[in-house]
Structure 1
Amino acid sequence: MNLFDDVPSDLPSELVDVLAEGQSVRIERIVSTGHKTEPGTWYDQEQTEWVVVLRGEAKLSFDDGEITTMKTGDHILIPAHRRHRVEWTTPNEPTLWLAVFFD
């Protein structure tokens, strides 16, 4: 399997593929094309998330006011329960993420 194969460009919502998971870890490939988190909604996850942008660009915001712009190759560690949201992803091409969730 290749992470860059079968990347659709026209999606009504984000595509999340679980690539592997175990008792305390989950690895996902996420494809976004102009997608963002619904207004007023925040991710507040039980697990820590390490995420890298493999292709495209995105903007994340955190409830403490921090805003992070990510481009290809950028990665970030988001501790469990750090509230965050996706504000923007590249609208004209897929943004491809690799996310690892762990305890």
Structure 2
Amino acid sequence: MLRSGNVFAGVRPDREAEAFATLAERPGAVVERIVSTGQASPAGFWYDQDWTEWVVVLAGEARLAIAGEAALRTLRPGDWLELPEHVRHRVEWTLADPPTVWLAVHWKGGRAEPA
């Protein structure tokens, strides 16, 4: 059975919390859409995940802090980042208007090899 949709369908700028939607899931991998409307990680909180996460910003803008890096990373539409397992990171800021729309791919294991 074929599945299809539009990654921007249902994106609303009036949400108080981030919205997560799983777009595809297969053994060992998950693809999700995240819509941020000004959210950031709580003060002092760092993500430390047991899986690799590859993210791309499709709309909006975000700033991330990566443990060990002096400067914040700004992601704009088209910018992507691969975060290997246990690379501590946090979201410092997201653009609310327009909403920041992310596409995230999560998998267990090592680094993806270039195509």
Taking structure 1 as the reference length, the TM-score comes to 0.95
Taking structure 2 as the reference length, the TM-score comes to 0.85
Q: Distance in 1 between matches of 2:31 and 2:64?
A: 19
- 2:35: which partner in 1? 31
Shift of residue 11, structure 1, vs aligned partner = 1.0
Answer 1 or 2: which has greater strand percent.
1
CA offsets 1:40-81 (integer angstroms, 9 cap, x no match) = 111111111110000010000012134210000000110111
2:39 alignment partner AA? H
CA offsets 1:1-42 (integer angstroms, 9 cap, x no match) = 100111011111110101111221011100001110111111
| 1:41 maps to 2:45 | yes
Identical counterparts, % of pairs: 48
2:45 alignment partner AA? T
- 1:59: which partner in 2? 63
Name the SS for the 1:69 alignment partner: strand
Q: Which deviates more from structure 2 when the two are superposed, residues 86-95 or residues 49-58?
A: 86-95
How many correspondences in the alignment? 103
State the 4+ residue runs in structure 1 displaced beyond 6 angstroms: none
- 1:85: which partner in 2? 90
Maintained 8 Å contact 2:59/2:76: yes
Cα RMSD between the aligned structures? 1.0
- Kindly name which structure, 1 or 2, has the bigger radius of gyration based on alpha carbons: 2
